[in-house]
Structure 1
Amino acid sequence: MFYSKNVPTLLGEMIAVRSEKGVCMLNFLDGKTTTQQVKELEKIGEIIYNDNDEILNQLQGELDLYFEGNLEQFSIPIDFIGTEFQQKVWNQLLKIKFGETRSYKEQAIAVGDLLAIRAVANANGKNKISILVPCHRVIGSDGSLTGFAGGKNRKQFLLDLESKQLNLF
Structure 2
Amino acid sequence: MPVLQQLLKALKASTINVSWTFLLLLALAHMATSWLLMCLTGEEVTGSLALWLYFYVVTASTVGYGDFSPTSTAGQLVAALYLIPGGISLFAALIGKATVTVSHFWRQQMQGKGDYSDLTGHTVVLGCLPLTMVPLSTKRGCTIFPKAVRLANYSTRPSRRIMPPCWE
Higher strand share: 1
Higher helix share: 2
Structure possessing the higher relative contact order (Cα contacts under 8 Å, 6 or more residues apart): 1
TM-score, normalising length: structure 1: 0.29
Based on CA coordinates, which of the two structures has the bigger radius of gyration? 2
TM-score, normalising length: structure 2: 0.29
